[in-house]
Amino acid sequence: MLETTETVRSEYEPVQGRIAWIEQFTDQDKLYVISLPDDVELDHDPGQFVELFVPGVGEAPFSISSSPTKDGPLELCIRAVGNVTRALDSMEGGDPLGIRGPYGTGFDPEALAGDDLLFVAGGIGLAPLRSMINYALDRSGEFGDLTTLYGCKEPAEQLFPEELQRWDDSEEMAFYETVDQCPEDQTWEGREGVITELIPEAEFDPETTTALVCGPPVMYRFVIESLQEQGLADDHIYLSLERNMHCGRGLCGHCQINELYVCVDGPVFNYPEVRDKSEAEV
């Protein structure tokens, strides 16, 4: 939970932060950089989320995009699709926000230590995976080979473009990128095709590799099948499932998958945990 230097706050009491700055990536997607009070530490794991409160509107859960290896403001990549996010879309630097959390079960860097890591991110799914990707890059000596696959529908939907270029230029991580297609009114010199087409091309050893996957629900089944075809065992696959989360504490039931609650038991699951859950749709 968010803590001050003197006391642990109630989990239902938001900390007041302020928007430090905003970076727009697409027509719907923005990066919100949020400063917290000097005496507050987020202390999150990669893959966790926070509840973001917009005064006068309400609150909603959002994945943390920043790595715990970085001090400073909190970073959230948010798509404007609902009441809270549309209200956010009209806000500016200096505006106040409330923050609760962090919540949920994220990726466990200690459990992944020594593994080769294969990140598979589709669309907005890059937002939560970015936290673990940058964690692994900042502490590359703790892991084996690093590989990231990223796909989006078209070039205009690309997130973190400058960072993607740094990853592409990096000697510490192999980076593969594709778009489903490039409309005639856009420019793209990279690959066209779905993200699963990248998996056979990525050079990884299934015996030593763990895959971390996040993207739209329709993507999971095909990505999992492709990883299995490359010899990756089911228990070497982790999924970040963030559908329908609301309260963040397993009280409202919006995110329930059979007997599991995504906001508490996840959002990160080892694939065998949800493999046979009909409501998981993976």
pLDDT at residue 7, rounded to an integer: 46
Q: Do 187 and 209 lie in a common domain? A: yes
* Residue 273 covered by a domain: no
Q: Do 114 and 41 lie in a common domain? A: no
Q: Do 68 and 119 lie in a common domain? A: no
* Residue 267 covered by a domain: no
| Confidence check: pLDDT of 3 > 60 | no
Phi, psi of 134 (to 5 degrees): -70, -30
Q: Do 71 and 114 lie in a common domain? A: no
Q: Do 194 and 122 lie in a common domain? A: yes
Rounded Cα gap, residues 145 and 24, in angstroms = 31
User: Can you read off the two tokens belonging to residue 112?
Assistant: 């992944």
Q: Do 20 and 71 lie in a common domain? A: yes
Q: Residue 223 sits in a domain of what CATH number?
A: 3.40.50.80
pLDDT at residue 39, rounded to an integer: 76
Q: How many domains does the chain have?
A: 2
Q: Do 179 and 121 lie in a common domain? A: yes
Q: Do 42 and 59 lie in a common domain? A: yes
Q: Do 142 and 163 lie in a common domain? A: yes
Confidence of residue 2 (pLDDT cuts 50, 70, 90): low
Q: What is the mean pLDDT of residues 70-98?
A: 94
Q: Residue 81 sits in a domain of what CATH number?
A: 2.40.30.10
Percent of the chain with pLDDT over 90: 82
Q: Do 93 and 141 lie in a common domain? A: no
255 marked as binding residue: yes
182 marked as binding residue: no
Q: What is the mean pLDDT of residues 95-106?
A: 95
Q: Is the entire prediction scored with pTM above 0.85?
A: yes
Domain termination site, one of 103, 132, 162: 103
Rounded Cα gap, residues 17 and 29, in angstroms = 20
| Per-residue pLDDT tens digits for 17-65 | 999 999 999 999 999 999 999 878 889 999 999 999 999 999 999 999 9
Determine the structural domain holding residue 142 and report its residue range. 109-240
DSSP 171: S
**Contact between residue 79 and residue 101 where contact means Cβ atoms under 8 Å apart:** no
77 marked as binding residue: no
Q: Do 160 and 201 lie in a common domain? A: yes
Q: Do 150 and 212 lie in a common domain? A: yes
Per DSSP, the three-state class of 100 is: strand
Beta strands 116-122 and 209-214, pairing class:
parallel
Confidence of residue 5 (pLDDT cuts 50, 70, 90): very low
